[in-house]
Amino acid sequence: MTDFEKQARELVDKMTLEEKASQLNFDAPAIPRLGIPRYHWWNEALHGLARAGTATMFPQSIALAAMFDTEEMEKIGDIISTEARAKYNAYSSEDDRDIYKGLTLWSPNVNIFRDPRWGRGHETYGEDPYLTSRLGVAFIKGIQGDGKYLKAAACAKHFAVHSGPEELRHEFDAVVSDKDLWETYLPAFQACVEEAGVEGVMGAYNRTNGEPCCGSKLLMKDILRGKWDFQGYFTSDCWAIKDFHENHHVTDTATESAALALKMGCDINCGNTYLKVMQAYQEGLVTEEDITEAAIRVMRTRFKLGLFADDCEYDKISYEEVACKKHRQAAIQAAERSVVLLKNDGILPLKKDMEKLAVIGPNADSRWPLIGNYHGTAPRYVTVLEGIEMVAEDIRIHYSEGCHTMKDRVEELALPGDRLSEAVYAAKEAKTAVVCLGLDERYEGEQHDVGNRIDETSMADKPTTALPDSQLHLLKALIETGVDLIVVNMTGSAVELKWLQDTPNVKAILQGWYPGAEGGLAIARILFGEVNPSGKLPVTFYASSEGMLPITDYSMKGRTYRYMESKPMYPFGYGLSYTRFAYSDLKTETAEGGVKITVTVENTGAVDGDEVTEVYIKDIKSPFEVRNHHLAAFKRFHVKAGEKQTIELLIPQKQFMVVNDQGERIKDGTEFAVYVGGTQPDARSEELTGQRPLETVIQY
């Protein structure tokens, strides 16, 4: 086993103090006399390599979460790291070591999507700590590989208690109880560190309980490196350290900010505040040992990546791997597995011998909603319109943009609603319309710097969960025609769809997410029955945003399926299929590491399909249990029409524990309700599906 720690220490020992300090900047300069090339730490890979040219573009993270598939997540991580190596090998051979071209991939985002208005929620794996942890661990394992060296270095972000508001993130203090901290906001990070061995952790912009997250004794020293024994490198979010003195006002100068971050264990500064590290040393705010230990940690990561080795097994990965057909097909398959069928009055799947079809809406023929944010450049894009034309080439398509995504007109000189008559006529002409609505990265995403705003309508967080007025006007006009409508909603978050669920001529609703570069083909295949939809919601779709707590309130009261008190529109874990699955013969037994669940699942319909079995539990007696119930296991599998399968799942021992008011995870009861099926055990899921999960009570 290579001693990367020893190698790092020996190399750092040869550096001057100034050279050590220089290596703590995200754009680390070369040290030619020691054979150290320049290295840029910042690279992105949420759903494919971003911002450095061509790469395979998978569906956005929230869509990947809808697959409920750890095996597929690991494969996707592996494909991304293969392309990262291929591009790194190519770029470095040209001595191109620019930003977004290194092997330290600042993904995944394992923050909890607790509020549907948060703009960056689509970067996450949804609202559930257990689902997020399982998918995060799988993705990291795929990224990092299991070789002598790291294939690439994953980074869990943003540590911790970070999920909006975007416009206040540089000054905001996320105040959270000990229970919510350890029950909701930390479990995914803990799993990424302790189970996946994630190489990097990135701090958040905000403060948590008064301390800036990139300079927090509680988060960085006591928890991350203390309780969890994290051995990797810690990086700030970009320009977060300057917030210490400019916005959080916990320090007075940039020098003091650099010292605070370094003292708390921040190794890499994404930004320029660490240019003050040597001044902090001269003023006695940091020691030579502080600088040296940080330098050792960052050089250790570079050694673990094999960047100074002659025998790294990944140096021979060819550029032929980048966006190859095999990888792109995997991205299309992921999109097919991620789409969630929310409503179907029997209209889907569509018949390929239909004469005409209207395809309408601002997201029908736009690349914007395919890719989400933090994206690269795909070699090919397929919009929903293009996908339909590919799948059903003999159907006469009447296309209309219908409206602008956000503005009240498409053409600036026209009157408001300038595409409505075209859309209405196209729908009447075809008698059936696929209506593609939603948002894209311009309208839900990261805080925009003023100079980077797309236009006057661009935004980060959403003020409401309602669709934009322009799209509501379009929908109402189309509904008034009485034509059969199939709505494809392409958003990275929950929006209000209740009125569409209740509208008779809205015959079907698909949640298409941001499905990746060629995701329009996946959606078309589902519309025409070439693929059976199988995605499940990783977030709750609320009836409306009325009555929600302010986004600045980090209490979990009333939030997400675990604590909500109102009736959801579409529950977490919900998703329909073109077939039906029946559950029977539920058995439980104590096993090593937890409780083993055995259940029989039968496909009672006429179409082959994937099912996701979901297991929820509730400690019946403990006052510290979540208000409702919590996901404790899940498994995705394929069942042919008319066939049965016996499925085994393990509920981990940790899932039978609760978190008390002091933040301690304890065993507090012996009697547990266990629910096994294709949905949550809630009344709304039963109302929508006509089925209820199997239920039993066990002693454990």
Catalytic residues: 237, 444
Cis peptide before 165, with omega less than 30 degrees from 0?
yes
Per-residue DSSP letter, 448 = P
Q: What gap in Å lies between CA 410 and CA 657, rounded to an integer?
A: 54
Q: Is the preceding peptide bond at 108 cis, omega within 30 degrees of 0? A: yes
State yes or no: cis peptide before 158, omega within 30 of 0.
yes
Phi and psi torsions of 382, nearest 5° = -130, 110
Please give the Cα distance from 133 to 329 (Å, whole number). 26
CB 597 within 8 A of CB 649: yes
CA 46/CA 136 separation, integer angstroms: 11
Q: How far is CA 499 from CA 57, 434, 475, 479, 554, in A?
A: 33, 17, 11, 11, 29
Query: Rounded CA gap, 26 and 40, in Å?
Result: 6
The distance from CA 73 to its chain's CA centroid, rounded to whole angstroms, is 11
Residues 6+ apart with CB under 8 A from 140: 77, 108, 154, 156, 192, 196, 197, 198
d(CA 446, CA 296) in angstroms, rounded, equals 32
Dig out the tokens for 505 from the structure: 């001529």
Report whether 255 contacts 262 (CB < 8 A). Answer: no
Query: Rounded to an integer, what distance in angstroms lies between the CA atom of residue 99 and that of residue 88?
Result: 11
DSSP line for 614-657: EEEEEESS-TTS-SS-EEEEEEEEEE-TT-EEEEEEEEEGGGG-
How far apart CA 261 and CA 235 sit, in angstroms, is 10
Listed in order, strand segments (DSSP E) in 121-209 are: 155-159, 173-174, 200-203, 207-208
**Paired strand residues for 630:** 617
Task: Tell me, letter by letter, the H, E, C secondary structure of 543-606.
Answer: CCCCCCCCCCCCCCCCCHHHHCCCCCCECCCCCECCCCEEEEEEEEEEECCEEEEEEEEEECCC
How many residues in the chain? Answer: 700
| Longest Cα–Cα distance in the chain | 79
SS3 call for 200: strand
What one-character DSSP code corresponds to residue 319?
A: G
- In the chain, helix, strand, coil percent, each to 5? 30, 20, 50
Name the nearest CA neighbour of 430 among 471, 486, 384.
Answer: 486
Calpha distance 130→631 (Å, rounded):
7
Strands 173-174 and 207-208: parallel
Tokens of 209: 């309980």
Cβ atoms within 10 Å of 164's Cβ, excluding its own: 26
- The answer to whether the beta carbons of residues 112 and 132 sit under 8 Å apart is yes
